[in-house]
Structure 1
């Protein structure tokens, strides 16, 4: 089968969704071919909230044996997309947020629908890994082509993807893919029809690395805490830095390593802390990231805005204990005290959890082993790809002609 893939960002744009999608397509390519449409590739500065207008121009590029078509705007398109910015004006948002968003989505579809329709002429199924303009446009194209429309929304309750407009999109899809039981329940809670939802999950390949090499390279002292993710407020990186610095001031010997993209100012601030046991590495290769997981003694992501971080699975792959944000999505993934520990995004709370880890590393290590076992039974990419392949096959054969 040929699958039309729709995504807001594709590698080399860095992120958990982007890495998972690329790995998923790698495994699915044994049985399927793809036409991939994206809006952003990460090679130009992103402008959150206004990317619809300022996205890079249209073009094609190759990434690791996949060909991606950037569905970017022309100069005239940018002018036609200007109404999309009205939804960002505070005064207008207060009086008609949902109406403005519907108008913006319609503007987006009018600009891109013909190009998406042309790109997807020969596909059997359209699968969107985003909502917003790209998702709505993909739905309209799927209906014109009379092919099934599947969406994996990666909804973050209270942050994005859970508005009445978004739920309207999901309830027109032939199937909505949830990442775990907590995600399924969250989708139902915002109004997605249960019959449409299928829990498939997200997965990784087992990783291995050379931890001792990395520790020598960066002269790491004491137990190593690892953070992998974007350096943005809701991820909790700043609170984690403050917690580690506080412990070091109290005489504890430990180090913190942070990997992931950051603004120039944040990168400079973090780099100044090297002498205090804070190692900021920025964007790194997959090989160096694997070395860091192998080197670390604890993985920490004290975020208050996640749904299914692959970084947790990567830490579990090497049986590393984890300390993650105490939010519903992660409560559904991590069994506190058995496969990891939960903490609110607060420097004092994080500091005390880290102190507990330092006092009982053996007990926390047992949680890492339990997490590794959970990964092997639930979150390996070959199993996730097989579930997608089964779903595609059911739609292609007609046995899934009605919503689940």
Structure 2
């Protein structure tokens, strides 16, 4: 059977490493996987500081860092100005001559890339990673204005993404929201995927555990992650009152969360690690006894998938996509968002179980996450780029 020709793929990403968030992580993994499959990969993304557009050659892709401007309300997110940058995007795409363009949002770079691709008959794909409401903490306007903007943004998502031949999003729930609120028909749910084996213990490997039962949170310390609720619930636990909480990640809420832990008298039980290496993150997953995600704006939650792949029980907010990752009492529990008493009770319930029972829950979670294997996701996107996946209208 003849070998298929390598493709030239452009990933249009408003956020890309060193940014730390789910969309940036997915884009990096996508670029890495397509490069490993022999394709030529280019990434269009904002540059992280002031200056003109430049190109850097990275192991996974050629990354074109576009001139952009800081956002005062966010630590790293940056804006490109369409009137200034679109011509540059079109020039880059003309030089690259892509076989497929994959936009990661309907804002800024993705918008321009989809417009160019549709005009020239290039295979265009759009993936949505966030709800417009996720931006609420970063908009310095009255709430009534923000609400109007969110309605406009959903409408605009439909208008821009309709330029793509095929649209995906990580979960069925997100697809339903896009169909109902953006008027997009036949959005295809396709998991972001993870390397399931990355967080499994190797043969004869052991990880030193903490003396106290350990709860882990991983993610950006932003308002919508609700880490404050987790800290407050920690102080309300009664069955396992010595449990400790390890918080991995940085963000604009860190100082407030440290102050909250101090005010609650929990300084010795809440440990902030900030940004850590991949190896240290893997060890954190394997070291903990329970993973908790209290966020209410998760379209998939890669960190929860990673925790499940590490065979850890989970306690998750009953919001957006998180319920898809929990079989109640089998691999973990859900709690009512905002209800600290309910959260504390669920944390107590899991951590007071015998170790063998927690291990059983962890194995059930690991089995559940096998459906999100990264290899399946990347094969699906390669088929999409090659037009092997039909477009349903």
Pick the aligned partner of 2:188 from 198, 206, 214.
198
Q: Is 2:266 the counterpart of 1:287?
A: no
Pick the aligned partner of 2:347 from 340, 354, 357.
354
- CA distance, structure 2, for counterparts of residue 22 and residue 303 of structure 1: 23
Q: Mind listing any 5+ residue stretches in structure 2 that lack a counterpart?
A: 1-6, 74-78, 136-149
Corresponding residue of 1:226: 216
Deviation readout 1:52-102 (Å, 9 max, x if unpaired): xxx6642233444433111114xxxx7xx9xx99xx9xxxxxxxxxxxxxx
- CA distance, structure 2, for counterparts of residue 72 and residue 334 of structure 1: 42
Corresponding residue of 2:198: 207
- CA distance, structure 1, for counterparts of residue 25 and residue 240 of structure 2: 38
Pick the aligned partner of 1:39 from 34, 43, 46.
46
Instruction: Tell whether the 8 Å contact from 1:178 to 1:198 is kept in structure 2 after alignment.
Output: yes
Instruction: Tell whether the 8 Å contact from 2:331 to 2:365 is kept in structure 1 after alignment.
Output: yes
RMSD of aligned alpha carbons: 3.0
Which one has the bigger helix percentage?
1
* Cα distance change on mapping 1:265 and 1:359 into 2, 3 Å: closer
- Normalised TM-score (structure 1): 0.79
Corresponding residue of 1:61: 56
Q: Mind listing any 5+ residue stretches in structure 1 that lack a counterpart?
A: 45-54, 89-104
Deviation at 1:339, TM superposition (A): 3.5
* Cα distance change on mapping 1:345 and 1:32 into 2, 3 Å: farther
- The residue matched to 1:258 in structure 2 has which SS? strand
- CA distance, structure 2, for counterparts of residue 136 and residue 152 of structure 1: 12
Moved more, 13-22 or 263-272: 263-272
Q: Is 2:233 the counterpart of 1:243?
A: yes
* Cα distance change on mapping 1:17 and 1:191 into 2, 3 Å: closer
* Cα distance change on mapping 1:379 and 1:38 into 2, 3 Å: same
Corresponding residue of 1:306: 298
Corresponding residue of 1:126: 101
- Normalised TM-score (structure 2): 0.81
* Cα distance change on mapping 1:233 and 1:316 into 2, 3 Å: same
Deviation at 1:265, TM superposition (A): 2.7
Instruction: Tell whether the 8 Å contact from 1:35 to 1:119 is kept in structure 2 after alignment.
Output: no
Instruction: Tell whether the 8 Å contact from 1:71 to 1:112 is kept in structure 2 after alignment.
Output: yes
